[in-house]
Structure 1
Amino acid sequence: MSKNLFITGTGTDIGKTFVSALIVKKLASKAKAGYYKAAMSGNLRDKNGNLIPGDAKFVKEISGIEQSLESMCPYVYENAYSPHLASRVEGNPVSMDVVKSGFLALQSEFDYLTMEGSGGILCPIDYDKEGKRPVLFLEDIIRNLALNSIIVADAGLGTINSLVLTANYMAAKNLGIKGIIFNHFHKGNIMQEDNIYMCEKMTGLKTLALVSDGDNDLAMDFETLAGLYE
């Protein structure tokens, strides 16, 4: 059975998928590593009209893993909306049972399984206005699968507020946090370096790695990274 870890972030488009790809690549260098995401929005279609799970495709290409795209994500939507709205427009709402069964199936195939979230920690995954289905938020998936998380944050302006709010919310909900990875980092940038210092002081969390645009390797050794998985 795999050891597992969840990758969440302070919001959308802050680099969760890029960081996830580097994480999976590092793990795959010495072990069988897999990737999973409950729902992906904003995807393109191939020439046959089939939706391509873009985040999964990116992780697969960067990491070099042979896992099938189909096994990486059970719910793929075209509109670049939160999954609850994308499924309301397109149909096929997210079911926790389907997400969990896909996750459990992968656990028997890999040593390390990395699950990426959709948007930030408060992202609604399914919200039926008529109340016929249970409301499903990202935190419900994390809790149901008994996962600890890494928070990915942008190193730039505004990250103190978004990171501290995310960390405090997760702590209040008893969601385990292993640490922070800062993306879009520029060494020597006084503001970014102070952001990192303040985020650590205000949350008590450790910075696990700093990722710069264009990096092709995660600045963390395999043993340290693998030790975050449970």
Structure 2
Amino acid sequence: MGKGIFIIGTDTDVGKTFVTAGIAYKLNESGYKVVPFKPIQSGGILDEHGTNLIAPDIRYIENICSIENKQTSQNHTMMNVYCLKEEVSPHLAANIENIKISKDKIISQYKKLINEYDYVVVEGAGGIVVPLVDNDYFVYDLIKDLDLDVLIVARAGVGTINHTVLTVEFLKSKNIKCKGIMINKYNGKFYEDDNMQTIENITGLSIVDVFSNIEKPTRDNIIKEYKDLSLERILNLFN
């Protein structure tokens, strides 16, 4: 049986997919059998045939990591259970599209993956309190049902101290273990360095790694960021 980690963000568009891809890339290139898992995707895109919705987050990870070439059994269905068209909160998108989200279906798919792969990197939707089923089931409920620890993705810039500390404290209130914090969109500013140090001081958690802000992303400069990740620290997230 493999091991899993749940990637959450302090907010939407903070870089969860970027980080998820980085972890998957590093593990894949190091010879481990790894799969990304996006249980629910809002804002799905049409495939090349224009007929089926697919998860853009999974498509990005596939393209960057080239994992589909090494692990041909993977497909969008196994890596993404629900793909919703509307780019809004999952519970609202599901209601608009008359789709009933089943936590049991998500848990069942995760169990299949954890039995087939060395590592499963689960990416959440938005922040920790995002509702998945109206007011009945939230991202933190799914984390607890999957029995996973989490990695927080946070921005480097102004506002990140408050967002990150509040996320950590909420996790504590739900008895969910956080393995550390990944900083994204770092510009090398002095206040960003202070933000990171302050977050570590307040939370007692470590900054696992830092991704630079890529103003003009290309596959080459993205891969460079991923290659610089510490494999040891990545593996420690799963222990």
TM tier relative to shorter chain: over 0.9
Indicate yes or no: 2:233 matched with 1:224: yes
| Alignment map for 1:49-128 (pairs within 5 Å) | 49-66=51-68, 67-127=74-134
Answer yes or no: is the 8 Å Cα contact 1:84–1:93 preserved in 2.
Answer: no
Q: Kindly tell me the number of residue pairs found equivalent between the two proteins.
A: 223
Q: Could you list the per-position Cα deviations for residues 167-199 of structure 1 after superposition, in whole angstroms to 9, with x for gaps in the alignment?
A: 110011110000000000122x11111110111
Indicate the RMSD between aligned Cα atoms, in angstroms.
1.3
Tell me which residue corresponds to 1:212: 212
Q: Could you list the per-position Cα deviations for residues 116-175 of structure 1 after superposition, in whole angstroms to 9, with x for gaps in the alignment?
A: 0000000100116xxxxxx11101110011100000001011101100100110011110
Tell me which residue corresponds to 1:192: 192
SS at the partner of 1:174? coil
Q: Please state how far the C-alpha of 1:220 moved relative to its aligned partner.
A: 3.0
Answer yes or no: is the 8 Å Cα contact 1:32–1:112 preserved in 2.
Answer: yes
Tell me which residue corresponds to 1:26: 26
Q: Please state how far the C-alpha of 1:224 moved relative to its aligned partner.
A: 2.5
Q: Please state how far the C-alpha of 1:222 moved relative to its aligned partner.
A: 1.9
Gaps of 5+ in 1: 129-134
Cα distance in 2 between the residues matched to 1:107 and 1:35? 11
The amino acid of 1:212's aligned partner reads S
Structure 1 segments of 4+ aligned residues over 4 angstroms from their partners? none
Larger helix proportion, structure 1 or 2? 2
Gaps of 5+ in 2: 69-73, 215-221
Answer yes or no: is the 8 Å Cα contact 1:208–1:220 preserved in 2.
Answer: no
Normalising by structure 2, we get a TM-score of 0.90
Tell me which residue corresponds to 1:131: none
Answer yes or no: is the 8 Å Cα contact 2:42–2:86 preserved in 1.
Answer: yes
Tell me which residue corresponds to 2:218: none
Instruction: Name which of structure 1's ranges 59-68 and 20-29 shifts more when overlaid on structure 2.
Output: 59-68
Q: Please state how far the C-alpha of 1:56 moved relative to its aligned partner.
A: 0.7
Q: Please state how far the C-alpha of 1:15 moved relative to its aligned partner.
A: 0.4
Q: Could you list the per-position Cα deviations for residues 42-101 of structure 1 after superposition, in whole angstroms to 9, with x for gaps in the alignment?
A: 122234331121111111111221221221110000101110000000022221100001
The amino acid of 2:182's aligned partner reads I
Instruction: Name which of structure 1's ranges 209-218 and 52-61 shifts more when overlaid on structure 2.
Output: 209-218
Q: Please state how far the C-alpha of 1:16 moved relative to its aligned partner.
A: 0.3
Q: Could you list the per-position Cα deviations for residues 13-57 of structure 1 after superposition, in whole angstroms to 9, with x for gaps in the alignment?
A: 000001100110001112001111110001222343311211111
The amino acid of 2:233's aligned partner reads T
Answer yes or no: is the 8 Å Cα contact 2:46–2:53 preserved in 1.
Answer: yes
Cα distance in 2 between the residues matched to 1:223 and 1:194? 25
SS at the partner of 1:60? helix
SS at the partner of 2:45? coil
Indicate yes or no: 2:39 matched with 1:38: yes
SS at the partner of 2:212? coil
Normalising by structure 1, we get a TM-score of 0.93
| Alignment map for 1:157-176 (pairs within 5 Å) | 157-176=158-177
Answer yes or no: is the 8 Å Cα contact 2:10–2:153 preserved in 1.
Answer: yes
